[in-house]
C-alpha cells in the first residue's frame, strides 16, 4: 500500500514541458534544495540503514544499489551550492540544465528505490506539500529526453564536438562540469529512442571511452555496447557492429540477445570481409524533417552570413523616423538591414522597465507554444518549435496599451486588427524551424515544389523541339493515357490553408514586429534562409518586416527561423499585424513588383533606394 501511495506522490511531482522554457528551469533550481533537505532528515530518522549515504567507508552498499552517480547527500549539497552560487544563469547553460534535469529524474529514482521499504511516504509528502505551496514543478521523463535532444540540436547547429560538449566545453570555453559516462550514455539513448543512430553512435562511443577512466564505471559496458553496435549497423558499419557484439557476448555471456545478434551479423556478411583491419567508421547525418534548407539555416545560425550585394552595400543606412507628429518630438532610430524585401531594426523602442512588466504579466500564463496544422487548421505542439508563450490583451495593463500605440507609430500600420501581443520564452536549445508567418496559398508543404514539366504526354514528340517524331512511334512506346488520348487541357484549383485566421476575420498577416527582450550570450538569431540574412538579438530593439507584398500576395522570401539558444536566455514578444484596415496605410502599387525602400514608403512605382 505504501508503495502505491509513493508512486502516486511522485507522479504528482512530475510535469512535462519544463525544458521548453528557461523561465521554468530557473524556477526549478530550488527543487534541488528540497532534495538535499529531505535526504538529511531521512538519514536522521533512519540512521541505522541510511548512514551509508554519508559514509565513504560503506561504499559497496552504494554500488550494489546502482547508486554510483548519486553517492552521498553532501555531494548533492555541493552541487546545489554551486548552482545557487551561480544563480538563475546556471540553467542558461545547456549542459548545466541537462544535468539538473537528469539529477531530478533518473537519479531521484534511485533515491526512491532505497526509500521504498521505510518511512519514505512521510518525507515525500512534505516535499510535495512544499512544492505545491511554492508552485515549483518537477521534471518528468519527457523533460529528460527533451533536454538530451536539445544538446543534440545545439551540437548540429553550432558544429560542437561530442567529446568537448561532454566535457563541458563550448566554443573552446569551459562552461560547465563534465558529464559522467552515464550522463553521456543517457544522451545517446535519447537519440536512439528517436531512431537517430547518427548521434547515438557518437555519444555511445564517448560514453565507452569515459567509463574506461571511471572507477567504478557509472554505467555497464555491456549496456553501451548493445546500443553502439546496433547504431553502427544502422549506419552501414556491419563488420564493426559484429566486432562489438562479439565483445558483448564475451563479457556478458548471459546477455539475452548477444549470441543471436552475432549470428545475424555473420549471416548478413555471408563470409565476406570477415578478416583484416576493420574499415573506417561511416556515420552520415540524415535528416527526415523535410527542411530542404537545413544547411543554409544552420550556417546562418552560426553567423556564417554571405556578404551584402554590392548594389545594396552603400545604400544601407540608419535614420530618424519623424513622419508623425509625436515622432517629431520623440523620433525613433531605424536601421535598414536589407532591401528587396525590406527589413529594419527599430532601436531602443522598449525600455527595461516595460520588459520587466511584460515578463511579470506573461510568466504565469506561459504555455507550450503551438503551431497551426496546415491540413486540419488545429493548433498543436510540434518538435520544431520549442518555447512557451503567452498572449497579453491591450487592456491588461497600461504598459501593453502603450507598446501597442508605439507599434502603430513606428510601423505606420493600423493596430485595430492586429493580434494580441505574444510573449515567448525559449527553452533549452529553444528554436523555431523555418516557417512563414502568413497563410500560404497552394500549400506544397515545407520547401514544396514541382520541377519544370509538361502536363501532356511527350510520346510521339521530339523532347526538345516538340515536333512529331516517327522514331518514338517506331520504338513502340505505349501511350500512357491509353484509349482516352493525350491531355488536351489543365484546370488548376488553388486552395487556401484550411481555417487560416478564419476566426479573426482580419485577413492575412501583412507584417511582423519582433521585440528582443533579452540578449542571449550565444545563439538565438532570427534568420531568413533564402535571403542569407541573420539578425542576432539586441535587447530593447524590434525587428520588423513585411510578410506580404504590396499586392497582397505572400512574399516567399520571408521564410525565416529562430535559431537555437546556445548559452543564455531568450525572451521575445511579437505583434502580427493583419491586412484589414491597411487599405490606406499600405495601398497597392501601380506597377508590378513595387515595394518599400523605407518604412512608410507609399510610392506607387518601382524605384531604387
Task: Please tell me the predicted confidence (pLDDT) of residue 369.
Answer: 65
- The CATH fold assigned to 335-441+484-601 is Jelly Rolls (2.60.120)
Task: Count helices and strands (H / E) in the chain.
Answer: 22, 21
At 142 the three-state DSSP class reads helix
Phi, psi of 535 (to 5 degrees): -120, 115
* pTM score above 0.95: no
- What are the strands of the beta sheet with 560-562, ordered from one edge? 432-435, 560-562, 526-528, 533-535
How far are the Cα atoms of 234, 279, 460, 593 from residue 282, in angstroms, in the given order? Answer: 10, 9, 46, 48
Peptide bond into 288 cis (omega under 30): no
Top pLDDT among 131 and 209 is at 209
Peptide bond into 341 cis (omega under 30): yes
- Grid cell 561511416 is found at 282
pLDDT per position as a tens digit, 140-157: 788 888 889 999 999 999
Tell me which residue of 125, 525, 189, 222 sits closest to 345, measured CA to CA: 525
Residue 478 has pLDDT above 60, yes or no: no
3-state helix, strand, coil in the chain (%, to 5): 40, 15, 45
Task: Please tell me the predicted confidence (pLDDT) of residue 460.
Answer: 46
Q: DSSP letters along 540-568, please?
A: T-EEEEESB-TTS-B-GGG-EEEPPEEES
Average of per-residue pLDDT across 261-280: 86
185-199, 391-405, 482-496: which has the minimum mean pLDDT? 482-496
Peptide bond into 284 cis (omega under 30): no
DSSP assignment letter at 478: P
Contact of 558 with 439, CB cutoff 8 Å: no
pLDDT per position as a tens digit, 403-452: 999 999 999 999 999 999 999 999 888 888 899 999 875 444 434 455 56
Report how far residue 246's alpha carbon sits from residue 253's, in angstroms, rounded to the nearest whole number. Answer: 10
Task: Please tell me the predicted confidence (pLDDT) of residue 118.
Answer: 63
Residues 6+ apart with CB under 8 A from 389: 366, 367, 369, 422, 423, 424, 425
Top pLDDT among 100 and 109 is at 100
Report how far residue 80's alpha carbon sits from residue 29's, in angstroms, rounded to the nearest whole number. Answer: 8
pLDDT band of residue 206 (cuts 50, 70, 90) is very high
- Three-state SS annotation for 180-241: CHHHHHHHHHHHHHCCCHHHHHHHHHHHHHHHCCCCCCCCCHHHHHHHHHHHHHHCCCHHHH
β-strands 14-15, 138-139 pairing? parallel
Residue 462 has pLDDT above 60, yes or no: no
Average of per-residue pLDDT across 219-246: 96
4-18, 144-158, 318-332: which has the minimum mean pLDDT? 4-18
How far are the Cα atoms of 308, 336, 337 from residue 313, in angstroms, in the given order? Answer: 6, 11, 10
Q: Please provide the average confidence, as pLDDT, over all residues in the chain.
A: 81
Domain 141-269: CATH architecture, name and number where available: Alpha Horseshoe (1.25)
Amino acid at each position: 500500500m505504501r508503495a502505491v501511495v509513493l508512486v502516486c506522490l511522485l507522479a504528482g511531482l512530475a510535469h512535462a514541458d519544463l525544458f521548453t522554457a528557461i523561465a521554468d528551469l530557473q524556477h526549478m533550481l530550488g527543487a534541488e534544495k528540497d532534495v538535499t533537505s529531505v535526504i538529511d532528515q531521512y538519514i536522521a530518522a533512519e540512521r541505522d540503514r541510511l548512514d551509508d549515504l554519508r559514509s565513504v567507508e560503506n561504499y559497496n552498499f552504494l554500488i550494489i544499489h546502482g547508486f554510483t552517480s548519486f553517492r552521498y547527500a553532501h555531494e548533492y549539497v555541493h552541487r546545489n551550492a554551486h548552482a545557487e552560487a551561480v544563480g538563475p544563469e546556471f540553467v542558461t547553460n545547456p549542459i548545466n540544465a541537462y544535468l539538473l534535469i537528469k539529477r531530478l529524474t533518473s537519479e531521484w529514482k534511485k533515491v526512491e528505490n532505497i526509500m521504498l521499504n521505510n518511512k519514505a511516504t512521510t518525507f515525500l509528502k512534505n516535499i510535495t506539500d512544499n512544492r505545491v505551496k511554492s508552485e515549483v514543478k518537477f521534471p518528468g521523463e519527457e523533460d529528460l529526453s527533451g533536454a538530451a535532444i536539445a544538446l543534440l540540436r545545439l551540437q548540429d547547429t553550432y558544429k560542437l564536438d561530442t567529446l568537448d560538449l561532454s566535457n563541458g566545453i563550448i566554443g573552446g570555453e569551459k562552461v560547465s562540469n563534465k558529464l559522467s559516462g552515464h550522463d553521456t550514455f543517457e544522451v545517446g539513448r535519447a537519440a536512439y529512442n528517436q531512431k537517430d543512430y547518427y548521434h547515438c553512435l557518437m555519444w555511445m562511443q564517448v560514453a565507452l571511452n569515459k567509463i574506461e577512466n571511471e572507477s567504478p564505471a557509472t554505467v555497464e559496458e555491456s549496456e553501451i555496447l548493445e546500443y553502439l553496435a546496433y547504431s553502427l549497423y544502422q549506419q552501414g558499419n556491419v563488420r564493426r557492429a559484429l566486432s562489438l557484439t562479439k565483445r558483448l557476448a564475451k563479457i556478458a555471456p548471459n546477455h539475452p540477445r548477444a549470441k543471436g545478434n552475432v549470428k545475424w551479423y555473420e549471416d548478413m556478411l555471408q563470409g565476406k570481409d570477415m578478416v583484416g583491419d576493420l574499415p573506417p567508421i561511416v556515420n552520415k547525418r540524415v535528416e527526415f524533417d523535410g527542411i530542404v534548407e537545413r544547411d543554409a539555416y544552420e550556417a546562418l545560425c552560426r553567423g556564417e552570413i554571405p556578404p551584402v550585394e554590392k548594389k545594396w552595400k552603400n545604400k544601407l543606412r540608419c535614420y530618424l523616423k519623424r513622419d508623425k507628429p509625436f515622432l517629431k518630438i520623440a523620433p525613433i532610430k531605424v536601421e535598414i538591414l536589407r532591401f528587396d524585401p525590406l527589413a529594419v531594426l527599430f532601436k531602443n523602442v522598449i525600455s527595461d522597465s516595460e520588459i520587466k512588466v511584460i515578463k511579470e504579466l506573461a510568466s504565469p500564463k506561459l504555455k507550450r507554444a503551438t503551431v497551426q496544422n496546415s491540413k486540419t487548421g488545429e493548433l498543436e505542439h510540434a518538435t520544431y518549435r520549442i518555447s512557451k508563450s503567452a498572449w497579453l490583451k491591450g487592456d491588461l495593463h497600461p504598459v501593453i496599451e502603450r507598446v501597442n500605440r508605439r507599434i502603430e507609430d513606428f510601423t505606420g500600420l493600423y493596430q485595430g486588427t492586429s493580434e494580441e501581443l505574444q510573449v515567448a520564452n525559449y527553452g533549452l536549445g529553444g528554436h523555431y524551424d523555418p516557417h512563414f508567418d502568413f497563410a500560404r496559398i497552394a500549400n506544397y508543404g515545407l520547401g514544396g515544389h514541382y520541377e519544370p514539366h509538361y502536363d501532356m504526354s511527350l510520346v510521339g514528340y521530339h523532347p526538345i523541339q516538340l515536333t512529331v517524331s516517327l522514331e518514338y512511334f517506331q520504338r513502340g512506346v505505349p501511350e500512357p493515357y491509353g484509349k482516352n488520348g493525350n491531355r488536351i487541357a489543365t484546370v488548376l484549383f488553388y486552395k487556401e490553408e484550411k481555417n487560416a485566421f478564419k476566426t479573426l476575420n482580419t485577413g492575412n498577416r501583412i507584417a511582423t514586429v519582433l521585440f528582443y527582450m533579452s540578449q542571449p550570450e550565444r545563439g538565438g538569431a532570427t534568420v531568413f534562409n533564402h535571403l542569407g540574412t541573420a539578425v542576432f538579438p539586441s535587447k530593447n530593439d524590434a525587428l520588423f518586416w513585411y510578410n506580404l507584398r504590396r499586392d497582397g500576395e505572400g512574399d516567399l522570401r520571408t521564410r525565416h527561423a529562430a535559431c537555437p539558444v546556445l548559452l543564455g536566455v531568450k525572451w521575445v514578444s511579437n505583434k502580427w499585424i493583419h491586412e484589414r484596415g491597411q487599405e490606406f496605410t499600405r495601398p497597392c502599387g501601380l506597377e508590378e513588383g513595387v515595394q518599400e525602400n523605407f518604412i512608410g514608403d507609399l510610392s506607387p512605382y518601382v524605384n531604387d533606394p
